[in-house]
Amino acid sequence: MIKRLYDWVIRWADRPGGTWALFILAFCESSFFPIPPDVLLIALAVGAPAKSFRFAIVCSVGSVAGGIFGYIIGLQFMDIVGNKIIDFYGLTDQVDYIATLFRQWDAWAVAIAGFTPIPYKLFTISAGAFDVNFPVFVISSAASRTLRFVLVACMIYYFGAGIRKFIEKYFNLLATAFTVLLIAGFAAIKFLF
């Protein structure tokens, strides 16, 4: 299923509305969608390397806007929608732990989630549910998401199309590695904090 979603997302790179699709994908991924926007960002940037950084900014703005939407879900609609989204991803057991992270680290917890493979949507929804300081949330989200997507843009700008071919050739291996990194990220946070 994830591979089909990946292929569907990649097809947007060859369409005129690819930039809008990138914005929408980044928005949705920050609050409920499973495919990270990096996939489409890479495809668009490979197609037009000179626009790599423009695509990274579009992706960042969409992601932060989606993070704000996730925050609103957690703040106003946790019982109706937020818990269902978190449960869908099997992250229900992590919510209490996330609350502890927010109490201890506030902005740093959001920044770590925004930059790493830890599910950002879990943190955006939880930030609203636990009433994390909104301006701090937005600033941390903007900094970490922009850094992440600009880093991807830099890789494409300097390494070119070979990155996309590598991703497509080793998608299953990368998906497995991503999952391992995701679990390791949670374990590292639990261990470090």
| List of residues 6+ apart from 18 with CB closer than 8 A | 12, 40, 43, 44, 47
Q: What is the pTM of this model?
A: 0.77
Of the two residues 120 and 69, the one the predictor is more confident about is 69
| Residue entry with tokens 């703005």 | 61
Residue in the structure block whose two tokens are 């201890």: 104
C-alpha distances in Å from residue 109, one per residue of 20, 45, 121, 183: 29, 29, 13, 16
Q: Which of 48, 40, 46, 2 is nearest to 21 (CA)?
A: 40
Model confidence at 43, pLDDT cuts 50, 70, 90, reads confident
pLDDT band at residue 41 using 50, 70 and 90 as cut-offs: confident
Q: What is the mean pLDDT of residues 3-13?
A: 67
What is the pLDDT at residue 169? 67
| Domain count within the chain | 1
> Is 180 a residue whose pLDDT tops 70?
no
**Is the per-residue pLDDT at 53 higher than 80?**
yes
Contact assessment for residue 36 and residue 29, using Cβ atoms and an 8 Å cutoff: yes
pLDDT exceeds 70 at position 183: no
pLDDT of residue 171: 55
CA–CA gap between residue 101 and residue 7 (Å, rounded): 35
Contact 37, 120 (CB under 8 A): no
Instruction: Determine the pLDDT at residue 57.
Output: 97
Supply the pLDDT for residue 178. 57
Question: How much is the mean pLDDT over the chain?
Answer: 81
Which structural domain range is residue 11 located in? 2-192
Report the pLDDT value the prediction gives residue 185, as an integer from 0 to 100: 63
pLDDT 10s digits, 69-110: 999 999 999 999 988 988 887 778 888 888 888 888 777 788
